[in-house]
Amino acid sequence: MRPLPPVLRRLAPWTGALLAIYLTFNFGATGAGSSPAEKLTPAAGTPETPYSQSELVSAGRRLFLMNCAHCHASDATGDEGPDLHGVRKSEARLAALIENGVKGEMPKFGAKLSHTEVQALVAFIRSL
């Protein structure tokens, strides 16, 4: 099995401790948020997202519970934010919404989440 890159390895169900470490934010050490080094970028010559769909969905679910459930509810049926089941937006549009937010409605996560993490969230939303 291909080894997972750090960000998804931390998000794998069997590495909960590592997940906690990753998500513990240290203002002094990093300034704020994910450092550029933590932003996962696919290696040259590999596909844009070199992870299986199930890997992305699993990671996306955890990211969702950490970042999105507060407004969309833990079952994604919506609360302050809309129900995410059956959304018809394209994956590119969903990724843009996550990264850029909606003014006055939804935070922008582009400075917090890596491209792959956004893709994982999109995969999870698509799986609902």
**Residue 28 in contact with other proteins, rule: CB under 8 A:** yes
- Contact yes or no for 62/11 (Cβ under 8 A): yes
**Beta-carbon count within 10 A of 70 CB:** 12
**Residue 74 in contact with other proteins, rule: CB under 8 A:** yes
By rule CB under 8 A, what string of x and - marks binding of each residue 96-115 to other proteins? -----x--x-xxxx-xx---
CA separation, residue 35 to residues 24, 82, 89, 121 (Å): 13, 30, 30, 19
Q: What is the CA radius of gyration of the chain?
A: 14
One residue of 5, 15, 38, 79 binding other proteins per CB under 8 A: 79
**Residue 18 in contact with other proteins, rule: CB under 8 A:** no
Stretch in the footprint of other proteins (CB under 8 A) among 2-10, 45-53, 69-77, 88-96: 69-77
Which residue's CB is nearer to other proteins, number 15 or number 49? Answer: 15
